[in-house]
């Protein structure tokens, strides 16, 4: 939680230094930082939600967070607060990589890749509380150690989860 608060406070403190006149006003970009890999597109509580890999501290790729934006029409976006920040041993290296989000039992669930300090990739779950995602206490839910030996564990990432007919 401390890393999430740290990222949010940093973004808030830096916004006054941004010249919004030169910013894109049609497509989404965050006010500061690095963005890549939009993911977790979902519809929840009357809004489209878009998440993305995000480094709030620099315009370079580094330890990723999940940024968050909402829209009613996919034209006008509102930048929301950082949704997930690296904070656990399974995501303190490269951070929070791409994934997907689904609504189940009226709860927005995020499935994402966490990258540890030793670059081990795991698949993780978090639940949206209306402000940020709470990481599942039994993460990781899938560990690369479960893969057959012939699989490339350096690319064990970006889960895309679908829930249909009571099955994942």
- Catalytically active residues, by annotation: 37
Q: What is the CA radius of gyration of the chain?
A: 16
Contact 36, 51 (CB under 8 A): no
Closest CA to 69 of 100, 90, 38, 45: 38
**Burial level of 154, CB count in 10 A (0-12/13-18/19+)?**
exposed
Contact predicate 79/69, CB 8 Å:
yes
């Amino acid at each position: 939680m401390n890393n999430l608060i740290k990222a949010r406070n940093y973004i808030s403190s830096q916004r006054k230094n941004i010249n919004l006149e030169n910013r894109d006003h049609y497509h989404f970009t965050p006010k500061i930082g690095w963005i890549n890999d939009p993911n977790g597109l979902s519809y929840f509580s009357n809004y489209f939600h878009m998440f993305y890999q995000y480094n709030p501290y620099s315009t370079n790729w580094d330890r990723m967070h999940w940024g968050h934006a909402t829209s009613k029409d996919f034209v006008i976006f509102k930048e929301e607060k950082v949704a997930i920040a690296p904070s656990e041993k399974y995501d303190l290296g490269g951070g929070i990589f791409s994934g997907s989000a689904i609504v189940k039992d009226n709860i927005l669930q995020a499935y994402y890749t966490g990258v540890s300090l030793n670059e081990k990739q795991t698949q993780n779950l978090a639940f949206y509380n209306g402000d940020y995602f709470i990481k599942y206490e039994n993460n990781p839910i899938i560990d690369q150690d479960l893969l057959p030996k012939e699989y490339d564990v350096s690319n064990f990432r970006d889960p895309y989860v679908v829930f249909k007919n009571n099955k994942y």
